[in-house]
Structure 1
């Protein structure tokens, strides 16, 4: 299985926008189309397609919060490609890419605490919960480098 992270551009943005999670997961994930619009109009947002054998099967967006901290704001794998270890491999690839910048000391991710899969998945990668966000809606988890 060949997994890669690819830039999103004219040739693949529609395929990325067409990716969907399951009905049960929809409340936990923002639309890829909205995320691409948000990234277009804000600086410091990085978007990548998760590709399997060259075809988009997932999406990432991360943001430079400050000179030493990156927050992963969006992460999804299409419902037809879940439970195949694609998400785990892709997240490890993103972490490796982010850590090539030696100024980054923290990587943060947030998730709905009612999401039954998120806590175990992110902790298995090395994220440690640090508490709820300022709105009290999402759990924050952190990797310190």
Structure 2
């Protein structure tokens, strides 16, 4: 799927390594697994669907969602990250919306859930702008927010 300058594409032999080299800001490292770990996880959990985020043809981010329902009777977003050199450009919001659209189309998703560390203010603002609602659900150290689509 694409939105002019931002597109998401399924991870493949041509783009997986580029995703492995992407990094978040130092203060974000504790909030998200490295992309290489997420990619490996997707190879052992086939319901996980990894994608690269491209901006003007360059790989700048990574995202992954589950293709089966889990807790809270929803489809979960597992990862979304934008490289530190491309943050604050609106890429994450567009890519997240493209991912939501992909989940609605491919999975007929009616409820999408994402968990994140409560101190991750960037994630909090992103999901709030996309319409996710905090119903007080918590899973370990993470809070879970829900989008009804």
What is the TM-score of this pair, normalised by structure 2?
0.89
**Which SS does the other structure have where 2:62 is aligned?**
strand
Residue 66 of structure 2 is aligned to residue 63 of structure 1: yes
Q: Distance in 2 between matches of 1:29 and 1:64?
A: 20
- 5+ unaligned residues in a row in structure 1: which ranges? none
What is the TM-score of this pair, normalised by structure 1?
0.92
RMSD over aligned CA atoms reads 1.6
Following superposition, the deviation at residue 13 of structure 1 comes to 1.1
Structure 2 residue aligned with 1:41:
44
Q: Distance in 2 between matches of 1:113 and 1:9?
A: 32
Q: Deviations for 1:72-118, whole angstroms, at most 9, x for unmatched residues?
A: 01110000000011111111111111111464221001110011222
Q: Distance in 2 between matches of 1:26 and 1:79?
A: 11
Q: Distance in 1 between matches of 2:19 and 2:94?
A: 18
Q: Distance in 2 between matches of 1:100 and 1:22?
A: 32
Following superposition, the deviation at residue 28 of structure 1 comes to 0.5
Q: Deviations for 1:7-46, whole angstroms, at most 9, x for unmatched residues?
A: 2111111110000001000001111000000001112110
Higher helix share: 2
Pairs within 5 Å for 1:1-145: 2-66=5-69, 69-101=74-106, 103-135=108-140, 137-145=141-149
Moved more, 5-14 or 30-39: 5-14
- 5+ unaligned residues in a row in structure 2: which ranges? none
Following superposition, the deviation at residue 133 of structure 1 comes to 2.6
